[in-house]
Amino acid sequence: MSSSTQINNEFFMQEALKEAKKAYEANETPIGAVITYNNEIIARGSNLRETLEDSTAHAEMNAIREACHKHKSWRLEDCTLYVTLEPCVMCAGAIIQSRIKRVVYGAKNKRFGAHQGAINLFSVPFNHQVEVIDGILEEECSKLISAFFINLRKGK
């Protein structure tokens, strides 16, 4: 990975972390996502499952919906999704279905992840293959999620 690619990945992951912090402040699991096209953010999303009482309101899904609306297409070819936590199976399916070119994530999701966690859905030979880059700002992403669950257990 070139140094400019690394810098871009870190910049956009910082933007995804801003979305995760919004979720944290709303007492939602702090996961954030941004989608870029031509190195510009076209959509943002944070986890809103509790707020919307919707099991599909993951950060990735919310960002994908917004990107499709702004892009005026369900096909998000040449787009990159940055997300603070490894996508789950539902989100990985939506990423594949929407033809997103690349996924960049921070923290691993050992229990529910669809790349290195429970399953590697991105390695299945579907008609669309997604490039996956992991571990970008992993420590920051992991700390935010860990802090949320520690405070949740303490009743804060």
- 83-105 pLDDT tens trace: 999 999 999 999 999 999 999 99
pLDDT (mean) for 105-116: 93
Please tell me the predicted confidence (pLDDT) of residue 150: 80
The answer to whether 16 and 34 have CB atoms below 8 angstroms apart is yes
Task: Output the pTM of the full model.
Answer: 0.93
Catalytic residue among 19, 25, 28, 60: 60
The answer on pLDDT for 77 being more than 90 is yes
pLDDT band at 153 (very low <50, low <70, confident <90, very high): confident
SS3 61: helix
The answer on pLDDT for 78 being more than 90 is yes
Residues with Cβ within 8 Å of 42's Cβ and at least 6 positions away in sequence, in order, are: 35, 36, 66, 67, 70, 71, 79
Q: Count how many residues are written for the chain.
A: 156
pLDDT band at 5 (very low <50, low <70, confident <90, very high): low
The answer to whether 80 and 58 have CB atoms below 8 angstroms apart is no
Q: Is 60 a catalytic residue?
A: yes
CA distances from 29 to 2, 62, 79 (A): 32, 14, 25
The answer on pLDDT for 25 being more than 90 is yes
